[in-house]
Amino acid sequence: MRPTDIEIANYRSIRRLFMPIHPLSVFVGENGVGKSNLYKSMSLLRDAAAGRITHTIADEGGLNSVSWSGRRKRGDDPRLRLAARFDDIKYSIELGYPGPAEAAFAGEPMIRSERIEMIRGKRKVLMVERTNALVSIRNESGVWESHKEALLPSETVLAGFFDGKNSPEIDQIRNAMLGWRFYHDFRTDQASPIRKPCLAVTTPSLSADGSDLAATLATLYSIRQDAAELQAAIEDAFPGAELRAWVQNGQCEFDLQLADMPRPFKAHELSDGTLKYICLLAVFMGYRLPPFIVLNEPEASLHPSLLAPLARLIAKASRRADIWIVTHSDHLMEALRSESSVPLRRVVKVKGATAIEGLSIGGEFRDGDDDDDDDE
């Protein structure tokens, strides 16, 4: 399943956003407007599927650090809310603080509610409802089954229930969101695992930290035995260059032969920018792409000459997966618009809240309309 829209409320600089998901979405904006919060809030949904959302929030400083940072009116509900819809099925989660008599550490992020709804036109059918410690699931016969104290405040329904017969919707959403992949940055220092050989394990898509880069490339060369498109993308970015990847003694390695150099360079010898671009090649040209790919500032450390090839790479990959790009580079944005006619989505601040120009409260983009009165 691929996501069709998301909702974010009370997360850092995001007061409320309801956004559609397109095959390619690119968000550009200046520093400090909250672009990275779009990326991070999406990754929290994946953490909910993995059962790590409360740990992630605690690691970021707790709810005080991740909750809405702007002014609040008296009586405002401060709960962090996230939701994702997949055509006719929707998952939502709310997090808040524990009460004095609840089984949780003081100040610990607590899952207050989770819901899974089936959407039939304008009609919504509730399939799963979790309120604090009580989980109710509508079984295959349409009868509600209650599970009290089945989960701790730190555990999600998605990670805690594995009953595909009585609650297939839980499995569907969990599996869909676990397939999402987020790429924030790739370490390119000399100690980075990207610069070293890795275990020879068939790898269909690059891991978030890129540590299995050599295996991802070698999978194309040795398992698919067809790296023609990858080689064409290398040629597009580095004219006359040739990339090779192989398996030897149970490990995967790769090197790059540049047109003006007498010998190929292995990973530990490549420049930071060249190595990062090869990581991006692996992201968008893997054996099997994740259904939803989110990248934060992929242009960082790249030479400007690589932005046009990167835009072509992204545009082509968007035919195989939904892609979100968060960037502060107008040059990358323009290159992407040239390659794919993707509309400009500019991230701004409106009264202290992160907003998207042209995005209405109802989640529709008013392309060509500069009236931002409804954006918030």
Q: What is the pLDDT of residue 344?
A: 73
Q: What is the pLDDT of residue 97?
A: 82
The answer to whether the beta carbons of residues 315 and 340 sit under 8 Å apart is yes
Q: What is the pLDDT of residue 362?
A: 79
Classify residue 359 by its DSSP letter: B
Regions in the chain scoring below 70 on pLDDT: 75, 100-104, 106, 164, 367-376
Query: pTM higher than 0.85, yes or no?
Result: yes
Q: What is the pLDDT of residue 75?
A: 65
The answer to whether the beta carbons of residues 253 and 264 sit under 8 Å apart is no
Q: What Å distances lie between residue 68 and 97, 234, 362, CA to CA?
A: 14, 43, 20
Q: What is the pLDDT of residue 120?
A: 80
Domains of the chain, start order = 5-180+346-356 (no CATH), 182-342 (3.40.50.300)
Report the alpha-carbon distance of residue 326 to residue 38 in Å, rounded. Answer: 8
Each residue of 340-354: b (16+ CB within 10 Å) or e? bebeebbbeebeebb
Which phi-psi region, left, alpha or beta, contains residue 162 (left: φ > 0; alpha: ψ -120 to 50)?
A: beta
Dihedrals phi, psi of 47, to nearest 5 degrees: -65, -30
Dihedrals phi, psi of 62, to nearest 5 degrees: 90, 180
Q: How do residues 8-63 score in pLDDT, each as one tens digit?
A: 999 999 999 999 998 999 999 888 899 999 999 999 999 999 999 999 999 998 88
Residue with tokens 């089984």: 103
* CA dihedral for 224, 227, 229, 233, sign (positive or negative): positive
Q: What is the pLDDT of residue 368?
A: 52
Q: What is the pLDDT of residue 365?
A: 80
What residues contact residue 266 under an 8 Å CB cut-off, 6+ apart?
253, 254, 255
Q: What is the DSSP string of 93-162?
A: EEEEPPPTTSSS-TT--EEEEEEEEEEETTEEEEEEEEETTEEEEE-TTS-EEEEET-S-TT--HHHH--
Q: What is the pLDDT of residue 367?
A: 63
Q: How do residues 99-143 score in pLDDT, each as one tens digit?
A: 766 666 767 889 999 999 998 878 889 999 999 889 999 988 889
